[in-house]
Amino acid sequence: MKDNFNFEVRNRNGEILEGFQKQDASLNFLYGSFYGRIILKLLTRPFVSKLVGSYMNSGRSRKMIKGFIDKQNIDMSQFEEREFNSYNDFFTRKVKPGKRPVDFNPDSFISPCDSKLSVYNIDGDSVFKIKDSIYSVFDILDGNPKAKEFFGGWCLIFRLAVDDYHRYCYFDDGTKEENFFIKGELHTVKPIALNGYNIYKRNCREYTFLKTDNFGEAVQIEVGAMMVGKIKNLHGKYKFKRGEEKGFFEFGGSTIILLIKKDVLKVDSDILGNTKNGIETAVKLGEKIGEKI
């Protein structure tokens, strides 16, 4: 596996935020070597992330906070001002009111989180391709027969890096069913893993069907990742409002996937163009990323 890789993230103005990068040496070893993959089998087990999560919830982990803020250049003026009891307490911090304005136009389709977004069409055979991995909506939903209702629709993948805001919201008004948890592994969601692992059908994840007022029935899937202790959804069956908090991830990178039915959504052209060219688009919670057809 190469030490460098082509990977690009752009903002909505077309400016490059991340480009050709030096691969993380530890991930290059884990995913690119025989002995690394042996170790990887252990590291991707949920009990390892639970052990790490226990430390991240302890007061001893507070010493990590300042270094992380400096390294990731996080603008803390956007977030609530208080003392944090642990690293996870810091990691799940909330933004100040008004720092993530929500587009309440009923025809606007909004991002449920801060992330790097890619959008794929689900063809008539239920599949779509990400990097070198082929996915099926049946795989992602663990064989749920309702997956066929999303053939021809859209699969929106919101990849949250460690420096992103890790709380997420509902993208429209509506009602939800109970959450379904799928036990699995916990691979990283960084691009290196996408080249050889079908991580979105292998990782631990939780999904629910949403009956929305303006975009019909949709599915939202929260995907855990390496060193993510927990997916924290706040509600079971529930009536929700656009922009209302749905839940949050604890420590680590993670992903949200939205499945939208055919002839419901028109995705913004810049996002579709970027995805076609292998570029992720940086989006913020509450901002418009498409519109109702």
Query: What are the tokens at 2?
Result: 């190469």
d(CA 202, CA 196): 12
Q: Identify the active-site residue in 89, 114, 172, 268.
A: 114
d(CA 205, CA 136): 15
DSSP for 66-99, written as a single string: HHHHHHHT--GGGB--S--SSHHHHHTPPBPTTS
d(CA 286, CA 171): 8
Handedness of CA 64, 205, 258, 129 (dihedral sign): positive
255 in Cβ contact with 228 (< 8 Å)? no
Annotated catalytic residue 24: no
Annotated catalytic residue 114: yes
Q: Identify the active-site residue in 108, 111, 118, 254.
A: 254
Which region holds residue 71: left if phi is over 0, alpha if psi is between -120 and 50, else beta? Answer: alpha
Handedness of CA 115, 31, 2, 24 (dihedral sign): positive
Active site residues per annotation: 114, 254
